[in-house]
Amino acid sequence: GNSVTQMEGPVTLSEEAFLTINCTYTATGYPSLFWYVQYPGEGLQLLLKATKADDKGSNKGFEATYRKETTSFHLEKGSVQVSDSAVYFCALTNTGGFKTIFGAGTRLFVKA
């Protein structure tokens, strides 16, 4: 079946540090991959997505590349800010249904 595994948090970084949050997936065929972000007390919102192998999604300085050979979609940002403190969810969708499979979420704390 389809599943998503992401690194456990929390991740604590200082402002301007480099961020990587690992995400790997299990799926048949060619899933679409997503990163969502949840700020405190709010719903989730799409951060970026990629729909085919080698695509790079990017938004607000965040990037992730769809790597089919390693079944990964790691989230990166070159210089984090305090305002990036949130929970980040990796997710996938696949043919055969209209559900989104979410990872467990990774909480990021950025210190000034």
Which residues are 62's β-sheet partners?
Answer: 59, 77
Q: How many residues bind another protein (CB under 8 A)?
A: 24
105 binds another protein (CB under 8 A): yes
Nearer to another protein, 49 or 74 (CB): 49
95 binds another protein (CB under 8 A): yes
26 and 71 Cβ atoms separated by less than 8 Å: yes
10 Å CB burial of residue 76 (0-12, 13-18, 19+) is middle
Q: Which of 46, 60, 68, 81 binds another protein (CB under 8 A)?
A: 46
Q: How far apart are CA 36 and CA 100, in angstroms?
A: 11
Question: What residues make contact with another protein under the rule CB under 8 A?
Answer: 31-32, 34, 36, 41-46, 49, 89, 93-100, 102-105
